[in-house]
Amino acid sequence: MISCQVMARHYTVFPLAIALLVTGCSTAPPKTEAPKRALTFPLERTAARLERGKYLVNNVVGCFMCHSQVDWNSAETPIMEGTMGGGSIFPLEGLPGRLVASNISPDPDTGAGKWSDEDFFRAMTQGLGKDGRKLFDMMPFRKLRALADEDLASMIVYVRSIPPVKYELPKTELDPVVLGAPPLPPRQDIPTVDTSDPVKLGAYLANASDCAGCHTPSTPDGVPIPGLDFAGGFVLVGPWGKVASANITPDPSGISYYDEATFLNVIRTGHLAKGGRKINNIMPWRFFRGMTDTDLKAVFAYLKSLAPVSHRVDNTEKPTRCKKCGVEHGLGHMNEANAKK
Ligand code: HEC
Ligand code: HEC
C-alpha cells in the first residue's frame, strides 16, 4: 500500500482545507521536504513543552475538569486536593450508564504510569482507549485531533509529569448504542496554528476548549442542531444544578452587546456582564481565566465572526419548552421554531 503523505505546510485546521490538500497530493512522497510529522516517540521532555502543556491542559482544554474529583459542594468548586489527574466517575446526569474519566496521572498501578506517550496520542486523536476500547465522545478526541502535533506533544509531556494519584476506578459501562461510531483512523493531516490572524487563532483555541460542545444545542441523540451553532440552550444537570448554556453568538439575544473588555472580564471574574450574577461553575471559566490576553482576545474575535443566531436563553427564568432547540430552558417559549424547508 502506498500511503499518501501530506507535505508539511502552513495551513488552517479547518477540515475542508485539509481534505482539499489530502485529495490534491500525489502518491509519491515529496522529494525535497521530509514530512513535518516530526513527533518522535517517546516524546522528548523539554522545558518549552512542559510550559506550553501546562498552559493548554489547565487553561485551554481543561483536562482536569473531567479527570479529577471536583468539590461541587464548595462555592469555589475546586479540584479536590490530591486528585488532579486521578480521574472521576463523571457526575453528569442522564447518561445511559456509568461514565468514568480515567486516572491519567502517572500512578503505575491505578493510573497511566505504565502507558506510553503513543497510548496518550491515540486516545487524544483517535478516541482509542489504552485497552483498545472506543472512548465515549465526552472525551474530546474529535477536537484534540485538530490540534498541532507540538501542542499535543506538550500536553502529553505535562500530564505525565504531574504527581501520581493512587485512585482505583471502576470501568466505564455505557450502552454500546451511545458509543456511536468506531474510533477514528490515525491522523494523516498535520494541523498547524495560524497565529497571524486573531479569528483563526480564536477558532483554533475555541475548538481546543470545545466551546461548541456545550454551547451548541443537540438532538436527544447528541447530534448538534444545524443552524444553532453556539446559540446555547444545551442543558447540563449534575451536582452543579440544572443550567442551560448561553447564546454566545453576536445576536441581540446572544452577546452582541459584549466588547472585548466585557468578554475578558466575564471570563476572568466568572460574573455575567448583565446583572452581575455569578456564572454556574460548570462553565469552565475558572480554567479559561488563565488564558493570556492575546488568546482570550482571539477567542472573542472568533465569536464575533460567527453567524448571529436568534435564540433566547436565560437561566434566571423558569424553564419553558423551546420550539427552536426542543428542550426546556429559561425563555424557551419566546423562541420561534426553526424555518423548515
Ligand atoms: C469533558 C471531559 C473530558 C476532558 C476535557 C478530557 N477528557 Fe480525557 N476522558 C474523558 C472521559 C469521560 C474518558 C473515558 C471515556 C470512556 O471510558 O469511554 C476519557 C479518557 C481519556 C484517556 C484514555 C484513558 C483510558 O482509559 O484508556 C486519556 C489518555 C485521556 N482521556 C486524556 C485526556 C487529556 C490529556 C485531556 C486534555 C488534553 C483530556 N483527556 C480531556 C473525559 C474528558
Ligand atoms: C462544560 C460546558 C461549557 C463549556 C465547555 C463552555 N461553556 Fe460557556 N457557558 C456554559 C454554561 C452552562 C453557561 C451559562 C452559565 C450560567 O447561566 O450561569 C455558559 C455561559 C457562558 C458565557 C456568558 C454568556 C452571557 O450570557 O453573558 C460566555 C461568554 C461563555 N459561556 C463563553 C464560553 C466560551 C468562549 C467557551 C469556550 C472557550 C465556553 N463558554 C465553553 C457552559 C460551557
User: Residue 219's closest CA among 99, 125, 325?
Assistant: 325
Q: 288 CA to middle of ligand 2, Å?
A: 10
Nearest CA to ligand 1 atom 13: 101
Ligand 1 midpoint to CA 101 (Å): 6
Q: Could you tell me if residue 192 is inside a domain?
A: no
CA 127–ligand 1 middle distance (angstroms): 9
242 within some domain:
yes
Q: Which of 58, 79, 135, 173 for a ligand 1 pocket mutation test, highest count of atoms within 8 Å of Cβ?
A: 135
Inside any domain, residue 189: no
Distance CA 68, CA 135 (A): 17
Domain presence at residue 186 = no
Q: Within this chain, do residues 150 and 272 fall inside the same structural domain, yes or no?
A: no
**Of 262, 283, 289, which is best to mutate to test ligand 2, by the most ligand atoms within 8 angstroms of its C-beta?**
283
62 lines ligand 1 (CB under 6 A): yes
Taking CA atoms only, the protein residue closest to ligand 2 atom 24 is: 246
Both 218 and 167 in one domain: the answer is no
- 323 Cβ contact list (under 8 Å, min separation 6): 332, 335, 336, 337
Q: Is 211 in the pocket of ligand 2 (CB under 6 A)?
A: yes
Kindly state whether residue 95 falls inside one of the protein's structural domains. yes
115 and 167 assigned to the same domain: yes
Residues 315 and 234 occupy one common structural domain: yes
> Which atom from ligand 2 is nearest to the alpha carbon of 272?
27
Pair 168, 80 in one domain: yes
| Residue 13 in grid coordinates | 485546521
Q: Is 246 touching ligand 2 by the criterion CB < 6 Å? A: yes
Domain match, 204 and 263 both: yes
Distance 158 CA to ligand 1 centre (A): 15
Does 138 lie in the same domain as 249?
no
67 CB within 6 A, ligand 1: yes
DSSP states of 2-45: ---PPPP----S-HHHHHHHHHHS-SSPPSSS--S----SSPP-
Residue appearing with cell numbers 455569578: 278
Which of 151, 179, 207 is a domain's end point?
A: 179
| Ligand 2 and 70: CB distance under 6 A | no
**Number of compact structural domains in the chain:** 3
Per-residue pLDDT of the chain (341 residues; tens, 9 = 90+): 333 322 222 222 223 333 333 333 334 444 444 445 679 999 999 999 999 999 999 999 999 999 999 999 998 899 999 999 999 999 888 888 899 999 999 999 999 999 999 999 999 999 999 999 999 999 999 999 999 999 999 999 999 999 999 999 999 999 888 887 889 999 887 888 899 999 999 999 999 999 999 999 999 878 899 999 999 999 999 999 999 999 999 999 999 999 999 999 999 999 999 899 999 999 999 999 999 999 999 999 999 999 999 999 999 999 999 999 999 999 999 999 876 43
Q: Are residues 239 and 276 in the same domain?
A: yes
Domain that holds residue 247: 198-334
Alpha helices by DSSP H, listed for the chain, are: 15-24, 47-55, 63-66, 117-126, 141-144, 149-159, 176-179, 198-209, 211-215, 260-269, 285-288, 293-304
| 239 lies in some domain | yes
Does 39 fall in a domain? no
Give kind and range of the element (H or E) at residue 238: strand 235-238
236 membership: H or E segment, kind and range? strand 235-238
Q: What is the pLDDT of residue 291?
A: 98
60 plus 157 within the same structural domain: yes
Q: Are residues 68 and 26 in the same domain?
A: no
How confident is the model at residue 36, as a pLDDT?
A: 53
Q: How far apart are the first and last CA of the chain?
A: 45
Residue nearest atom 5 of ligand 1, based on CA coordinates = 63
Taking the CA of 154 as reference, the closest ligand is: 1
| Residue to mutate (ligand 2; options 215, 242, 317; most atoms within 8 A of CB) | 215
- Here the cell at position 182 is 468506531
Q: Does residue 52 sit in the same domain as residue 162?
A: yes
Confirm or reject: Cβ of 159 under 6 Å from ligand 1: yes
**Is 322 a member of any domain?**
yes
Residues 48 and 175 in one domain: yes
3-state DSSP assignment of residue 100: strand
Contact yes or no for 165/85 (Cβ under 8 A): yes
pLDDT of residue 30: 42
